[in-house]
């Protein structure tokens, strides 16, 4: 009975982590779409997401599992690793994205032409 309770507990813990990873993986996908469209994402947002994924990895490591639960634990660990690797790539490509700045003016620019009688001084 104790063995079954331990196995059930491991399955529940892994299932909880799996649901949290689903949410985090969705956020990774959203960031990927934003960066792919040429927009910039605050670097702190990527860093926080990596930290949240690492917390899930730590929770996974603390679970004692055997058999099927061990396979599920390994699978979720690989999901965490894949998401973190994806975020590392996105972080690098996000740094390459230059924000687009649009400047418009309502005035006409004035041109400045110095008079032809101006003498220029040269400093050595």
Domain-embedded: residue 88 = yes
Supply the pLDDT for residue 98.
60
d(CA 52, CA 20): 10
| Percent residues over pLDDT 70 in the chain | 77
Whether 21 is covered by a domain: the verdict is: yes
The CATH number assigned to the domain holding 19 equals 1.20.58.120
> Under a CB-based contact definition with an 8 Å cutoff, are residues 75 and 57 in contact?
no
29-52 pLDDT per residue, tens:
999 999 999 888 999 999 999 999
Is 75 within a domain?
yes
In a domain, 109, yes or no: no
Under 8 Å between Cβ of 84 and 46: no
Q: Is 123 among the domain residues?
A: no
How would residue 123 be classed by pLDDT, with cut points 50, 70 and 90?
low
Task: Domain count for the chain, please give it.
Answer: 1
For residue 68, give its domain range: 2-96
Give dist(CA 24, CA 118) in Å, integer.
67
92 found inside a domain: yes
Q: Which of 43-47, 88-92, 99-103 has the lowest mean pLDDT?
A: 99-103
Q: What is the pLDDT of residue 108?
A: 61
**Is residue 120, in this structure, part of any structural domain at all?**
no
pLDDT above 70 for 1: yes
| Residue 62: predicted pLDDT | 92
Residue 111 lies in a domain: no
| pLDDT band, residue 88 (cuts 50/70/90) | very high
């Amino acid at each position: 009975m104790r063995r079954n309770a331990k196995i059930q507990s491991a399955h529940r813990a892994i299932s909880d982590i799996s649901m949290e990873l689903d949410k985090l993986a969705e956020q990774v996908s959203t960031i990927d779409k934003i960066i792919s469209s040429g927009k910039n994402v605050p670097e702190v947002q990527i860093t926080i997401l990596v930290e949240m994924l690492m917390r899930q990895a730590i929770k996974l490591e603390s679970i004692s599992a055997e058999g099927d639960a061990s396979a599920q634990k390994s699978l979720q660990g690989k999901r965490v690793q894949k998401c973190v690797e994806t975020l590392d790539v996105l972080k690098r490509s996000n740094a390459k994205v230059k924000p687009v700045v649009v400047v418009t003016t309502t005035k006409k620019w004035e041109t400045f032409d110095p008079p032809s009688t101006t003498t220029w001084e040269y400093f050595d």
